[in-house]
Structure 1
Amino acid sequence: MYIATDTLAAFVLAAELGSFSAAARQLGKRQSTISESIANLEIDLGLRLFERSGRQPQLTAAGQRLLPSARQTLAAQDALLLEAQLLADGGDTQLTLVLSDTFHSGDFEAMLAAFAARFPTLALECLVGEQEDVLALVRSGRAQLGLLSGQGAYAADIASCTLARPTQLARYVAASHPLARLAQVGDDDLRQYRELRLQPYHDQAAPDDGRICWSAPSYLLLLEMAQLGFGWAALPDWLVARYGAGLQPLPQPGWPRQLRIDAVWSRQRPLGGAAAWVLQRLRQD
């Protein structure tokens, strides 16, 4: 029995979002198409995957049992396609990447040098984004490949892999800030001063927790605000080391923190040869 990637993605995404219509919106298809794909999958498997008697579809016991295997199958297909695209390695005229400031610039610069030698005539466009902004650019097709701080999980329309080198974040303030004079910093101390918070364009605003807060969609903007003494911010250590003169880390339990860096791409738009090469190179570094 052959099960198409689109059918598996529809099943997984409908299970994750709890709605056929939400899965359709995410995949850019009609709800009727998603419903028909899942119904045909149930016929092929001889199992009912969703209970449809309520307002929203609910996974049956069989659906719950098969969901992890469906995710694993999608991941295996991603690996197969990536290898095939590396072997094909042709036809690309431009590559667009969207990068988080959590991705170490030293790794990026080394990749660029190798990329220029490997693809001397290929146009390259680099965008900057964080979290949901990266995912939105990849989903829309504006970027073929995105790099971002690792999320807990990704929707079924997004393929991902983790890069070899993680990043590290610490909380920073300007040396002239009152918090910089404390030998130990606690949450009560932080609440007395302005937080400089990352807020991507496509992410919902964080709930009001009573903190004084300024927000920006990039770590570099937050770094500049912190340098000017406007508050404290969680920032990538490499970014501060390169651009953050006058900033110092706050001595706080649990900080600094390590974050993994993930590469993401759309299962609706398989990677071309150049993007597959970049991904392989970043995974090896």
Structure 2
Amino acid sequence: MKLASQHIELFLAVVDGGSFASAARALRRAPSAISMAMANLEAELGIVLFDRGAREAVPTPAALALLPHARLVAGQLQQLHLHVQELAQGLESRISLGLATELDPAPFVRAVAALSQRYPLLDIEVLSAPQDDLRQLLASGRISACMVFGGGRINHREQFQLVGSDALVAIVSALHPPAQSTHAPMYIEELVNLRQIVVASRELELADARPLVGLSHWRTDSLPMALAMVEAGLGWGNFAQSAIAATLATGRVRRVAFKNTGNGLPLPIHLVWMQDRPLGVAGRAFLQLLAAGAP
């Protein structure tokens, strides 16, 4: 016999209610109909699920063995029914989101986690790349939205919402050059002559040159690799403070002290999408969660 959703509903109603009468009230059916349906189910399965008392229906060992599986299936069916309703109301079946590798992923991941709790059956894809690459993926339709640094030139084809902020912080290795020449406070202009390690696209030119200070710079498309290069003394870096907090805490890199200015360039963080592809239900929910600092 193949168990159907109504059989699982009936079984759980009797277990939770403790009697056929309670199950009948919960399912809005006659007690005699519940008793007959359960008897038919037991006959079809070839096992006794309940010991019938005067007022109670006590689950047998066989019923208790089936109970956790029945609850799991019932929960999955409930999620499925809810997802069907959400799809009918316009929920995307799949959403692809981008995160700039230059940024701290923690706020983004918290929002993704909250979105998955709100829509458990939603298929979510997350891509991480330098922000110039992400904006190209966005323009091509490969992703629905991306979280990137904002505040540069405004693209009339894009739409954005402020979701946070961070500061670019200049750091050097604590053990290797050029740290040896920068232990004492220095003028920020002196960084121009020191090699800079930059997180950038493999192929595209930097659209936003604000993080770029050094006349000479080496590129990598990975923030962890950039930090490793700075730590090895291959150059200095200008990275988002939140994204490098753990590395700074190790003491292997340190902030540069400047004589003529502070060390930290505040920049806004935006969620960006295309004007001709407005955010759907899941996209708008993600934006709300991200802006609110989920959970």
TM-score of the pair, normalised by structure 2: 0.60
Alpha-carbon distance in structure 2 between the residues aligned to 1:106 and 1:213: 28
Residue-by-residue CA offset, 1:93-140 (whole Å, 9 max, x unaligned): 211111123443331232133112111111111111233222111111
Does residue 284 of the first structure (1) align with residue 256 of the second (2)? no
Does residue 270 of the first structure (1) align with residue 278 of the second (2)? yes
The one-letter amino acid paired with 2:266 is Q
What is the aligned partner in structure 2 of residue 247 from structure 1?
253
CA contact (8 A) 1:179 1:185 kept: no
Q: For 1:139, what is the secondary structure of its paired residue?
A: helix
Gaps (5+ residues) in structure 2? 1-85
Structure 1 residue 155, shift from structure 2 partner: 1.9
Residue-by-residue CA offset, 1:137-194 (whole Å, 9 max, x unaligned): 111111001110013232221111111x211220111101334342212245324432
1:230 corresponds to which of 230, 234, 247: 234
Q: Are the structure 2 counterparts of residues 221 and 151 from structure 1 closer, same or farther at C-alpha, using a change threshold of 3 Å?
A: farther
Alpha-carbon distance in structure 2 between the residues aligned to 1:179 and 1:166: 29
Alpha-carbon distance in structure 2 between the residues aligned to 1:157 and 1:210: 31
Alpha-carbon distance in structure 2 between the residues aligned to 1:228 and 1:203: 26
What is the aligned partner in structure 2 of residue 170 from structure 1?
169
CA contact (8 A) 2:172 2:237 kept: yes
Alpha-carbon distance in structure 1 between the residues aligned to 2:229 and 2:216: 14
Within a 5 Å distance, the mapping from 1:47-58 to structure 2 comes to: none
Alpha-carbon distance in structure 2 between the residues aligned to 1:243 and 1:125: 27
The one-letter amino acid paired with 2:197 is L
CA contact (8 A) 2:177 2:233 kept: no
Within a 5 Å distance, the mapping from 1:85-96 to structure 2 comes to: 90-96=90-96
Within a 5 Å distance, the mapping from 1:68-147 to structure 2 comes to: 90-147=90-147
Mean Cα displacement is larger for which, 91-100 or 212-221? 212-221
What is the aligned partner in structure 1 of residue 197 from structure 2?
196
CA contact (8 A) 1:183 1:251 kept: yes
Structure 1 residue 279, shift from structure 2 partner: 0.7
Q: Are the structure 2 counterparts of residues 119 and 219 from structure 1 closer, same or farther at C-alpha, using a change threshold of 3 Å?
A: same
Q: Are the structure 2 counterparts of residues 106 and 89 from structure 1 closer, same or farther at C-alpha, using a change threshold of 3 Å?
A: farther
TM-score of the pair, normalised by structure 1: 0.62
Residue-by-residue CA offset, 1:182-208 (whole Å, 9 max, x unaligned): 221224532443211232246426999
CA contact (8 A) 1:101 1:239 kept: no
Alpha-carbon distance in structure 1 between the residues aligned to 2:273 and 2:203: 17
Q: For 1:148, what is the secondary structure of its paired residue?
A: strand
Residue-by-residue CA offset, 1:243-264 (whole Å, 9 max, x unaligned): 4531111112242111100111
CA contact (8 A) 1:170 1:249 kept: yes
Within a 5 Å distance, the mapping from 1:3-14 to structure 2 comes to: none
The one-letter amino acid paired with 2:220 is A
Alpha-carbon distance in structure 1 between the residues aligned to 2:191 and 2:286: 40
Does residue 260 of the first structure (1) align with residue 268 of the second (2)? yes
Q: Are the structure 2 counterparts of residues 202 and 148 from structure 1 closer, same or farther at C-alpha, using a change threshold of 3 Å?
A: farther
Q: For 2:155, what is the secondary structure of its paired residue?
A: coil
Q: For 1:263, what is the secondary structure of its paired residue?
A: strand
Alpha-carbon distance in structure 2 between the residues aligned to 1:179 and 1:193: 8
CA contact (8 A) 2:132 2:206 kept: no
Alpha-carbon distance in structure 1 between the residues aligned to 2:219 and 2:153: 24
Q: For 1:178, what is the secondary structure of its paired residue?
A: coil
Alpha-carbon distance in structure 2 between the residues aligned to 1:89 and 1:145: 21
Alpha-carbon distance in structure 2 between the residues aligned to 1:276 and 1:115: 10
Structure 1 residue 223, shift from structure 2 partner: 1.4
Q: For 1:97, what is the secondary structure of its paired residue?
A: strand
CA RMSD in angstroms comes to: 2.8
Percent identity among equivalent residues? 26
Alpha-carbon distance in structure 2 between the residues aligned to 1:271 and 1:89: 14
Alpha-carbon distance in structure 1 between the residues aligned to 2:213 and 2:289: 41
The one-letter amino acid paired with 1:248 is R
How many pairs are equivalent?
199
Within a 5 Å distance, the mapping from 1:58-69 to structure 2 comes to: none
